[in-house]
Amino acid sequence: MPEVPVLQARGLTRILPGTVPVTLVRDIDLSIGASEFVAITGPSGSGKSSLLYLLGLLDRPTEGEVLIEGQATGDLSDGDLAKLRLTKLGFVFQFHFLLPEFGVLQNVMLPMRKAGGRDLGEIRARAEQILIQLGLEDCLAKMTDQISGGQRQRVAVARALANDPRIILADEPTGNLDTKNAGIVFDILRNLVREEGRTVVAVTHDANLAARTDRRIHVVDGRIVAV
């Protein structure tokens, strides 16, 4: 029996309604397995981010559907989708999007607190462990505006890992970083695949970084043109 793909898209189409409807993503079929590091590339406006949001259940497709670990999501309620995002998916965006009112540790604890089932001590211990693993042991007690941009993006990765999801979706995760920090974050993402067996799907326009992934999906005008 073949292994069930971790992330699957079937006939995925997203059209923005309006007086002039805009097609963001057109009829995409895609299957991504466990422990795969996939880059989605393409010119700006090609629909690569839109595809990522659809795969991440942030947006609902006009046609087609997304399967997470073989589970169809088309008929799920908003609440069920939120639950899947909480437990099975982790997001990293170009901008770190950390909550400025909370400290580094609190930001990483947040998804675990929402998921519940663990007491605050356990949650804190796990958040510390993830941060230390990502080399952020100096930042544990700091506020988000007391650390560097590269560190913030690593905290965002730590937050994405909080509920131990099998899939990490990253939208230009290195887009705001200098070469050195971009390299660090990229290495972290690759380690998540190599050492922890997670699946990482990253949208990027950086050809050098894309070249270091396992598989590249090139999107133009909402269609996959090369795999």
User: Are 77 and 69 within 8 A, CB to CB?
Assistant: no
Question: Does residue 164 touch another protein according to CB under 8 A?
Answer: no
Which residues, numbered 175-194, are part of the site for another protein (CB under 8 A)?
Answer: 175
Question: Does residue 62 touch another protein according to CB under 8 A?
Answer: no
Q: How far is the CB of 91 from another protein (least distance, A)?
A: 5
Question: 68: closest CA among 129, 82, 134?
Answer: 82
Q: How far is the CB of 2 from another protein (least distance, A)?
A: 30
Q: How far is the CB of 162 from another protein (least distance, A)?
A: 8
Q: For 163-217, give the DSSP string.
A: T--SEEEEESTTTTS-HHHHHHHHHHHHHHHHTT--EEEEE---HHHHHTSSEEE
User: Are 184 and 191 within 8 A, CB to CB?
Assistant: no
Which residues, numbered 27-56, are part of the site for another protein (CB under 8 A)?
Answer: 49-50, 53, 56
Q: What residues contact residue 191 under an 8 Å CB cut-off, 6+ apart?
A: none
Question: Does residue 202 touch another protein according to CB under 8 A?
Answer: no
Question: Does residue 142 touch another protein according to CB under 8 A?
Answer: no
What is the rounded distance in angstroms from the CA atom of residue 25 to the CA atom of residue 74?
A: 16
Q: How far is the CB of 81 from another protein (least distance, A)?
A: 9
| Residues lying near another protein in the complex (CB under 8 A) | 49-50, 53, 56, 58-59, 78-79, 82-87, 89, 91, 93-95, 97, 99-102, 110-111, 113-115, 159, 163, 171-172, 175
